[in-house]
Structure 1
């Protein structure tokens, strides 16, 4: 099965076409703590879930700039839908690392949706023909609409050191815990999943380090060059678009209201007349531009190095995470400026900026998106210190 690969402009146009549907169901998704089924179906129909699937299996093998731009577009309609899409892209990339028999099985489902995590919060023990896994994973975005989950567990055998492994398991073999009660990104349905005496055959698990470094055992050239890159730069570039899109959405939402509301208890008949507003709008606009710079540099670096088949230095890897963190920090600050300037009526639930603010804050708190964590990692490397994380 093959699908003609759309251009970046075509994918943005497709994403733009479903934004009204995302907006229509954004309140429903937030109230019900999951993306509406019609939104999932619409994203599938326009090819959102094919964007990181290999062309060999009917996917588009999109570059990361396209992923970021599409996520930003989706975020203008609903951040939860955009976040679900971007999170699916990462485990889909990881699935390409597995042996051919596993890849064929997973990608046999058209528009397959794979959720996942990078946290090793489960334990695994050797068993004849595979391993047995027990444990729980939290914040599993997209679990409610996925066919597979990529899990991480620490394998402890009779000999050797404990080793984190990544495995692919059908969702039907996991128990879902409905525990997603949050202030932001409520619509993502990022529930927990549990494995109880779950058997995983040998072919469906790999050492985490192999996947982190993009060192698949498959022959080179089977898939595009993006599948030969290290995981964390790819994941960073795949995730950054939602934050940038939220900041742009906040700006648009603010500008739609600024000419029609006054500043209460002042003589300004229109907020747009106030010098304070001019400073706020300029400050936010510049921060959004700066966030876009970091997102663009991140995706350009990942795409260029992947296309060239170039090795990554530790400093380049750390900067990839720093670019993502800076984009998130700037997006968060821009939204805060605009939300603070939006007046008391912006606290009403039908005014979009209050949800945008909660959503971008939730993005910024994600362990791999957190600006301070990423800045510290980059600073350590710049100062000649080894990274204090294997997630680089």
Structure 2
């Protein structure tokens, strides 16, 4: 195979991989010099001239002319008689440049050249891809669903790069079909062998923060700061916001008229309930705001252990705890304090308590089972016969006994 034909086949990689001319020349020269080292022991006395745009290349071997019988290094020296076969007027001590055809390296060496080139170009592509997406970590990115697997969704961007959205990084309500456009943040880039694996996430707090930047101009412009974000993906989130400008209402700006601004974010996150609160350095006030929509009566803070006793009226307890305990859990994460709810006072003998106020002790689905048969207060359950409740609900006797015990303790206290 002649030099030009080989270079023409190599230059195909330039078009396929969109490698710039300078980079391709550097890769080609590196590949050829490795081949020359294997063939001649050294490439120090070789000049390589490559023009991939025209599809041509020249390799020149430079040697010094020495007297016949005095050649010590055949790679760097040439005898006078051999030199004069190239040009008849060469003399001892002169430099001889002789063109080397690739065919002289041998067929196996040429095949190795091609494999080495492919490897180098893939290595170059992977390095560039790794650097490109490392710089995008924490940014929102959009890609198209290419394949849905049980443990991950495989996405492809406009440049054909593969991105992985693992099952645990998906919002529970997410459902994707081939061809869907998916938004998430680039969470990490991992090297699997020499190939980078790009990981996307839709459950990260950073994703919600970046959505605020995208959807709310004042956040994008830096007029409103997102101080902290906590989430239970697909269920509930709390976002603390602040502004240095007293004329701007950060919560109002983020929520928008009748929720117009935050609606798009909620929809993107599978109808995740988002509470936006004003950030403050006043710990008591921050805890009180974080427990919204519940109205807190008072708070006792233990700074040393980062705990707080939150005192609430009976009708506010269920609001503070929230469905599945999500509200109080997120409030604790947002404030950095472990929050303990303290019910104010105890109900009189003729008073009753809503079952939902016991959601921190009784699971929501159990409360729903009682509600199905019209029992939604503590006393309405306590006045029932256990055997009758077993018959009328889908609850086990042991579960009903546990509920009875919890309700009785409330009134005994």
TM-score > 0.5, shorter chain as reference: no
Structure (1 or 2) with the greater helix fraction: 1
Bigger-Rg structure (1/2): 2
Structure (1 or 2) with the greater strand fraction: 2
Structure with bigger RCO (C-alpha 8 Å, 6+ apart): 1
TM superposition score normalised by structure 1: 0.21
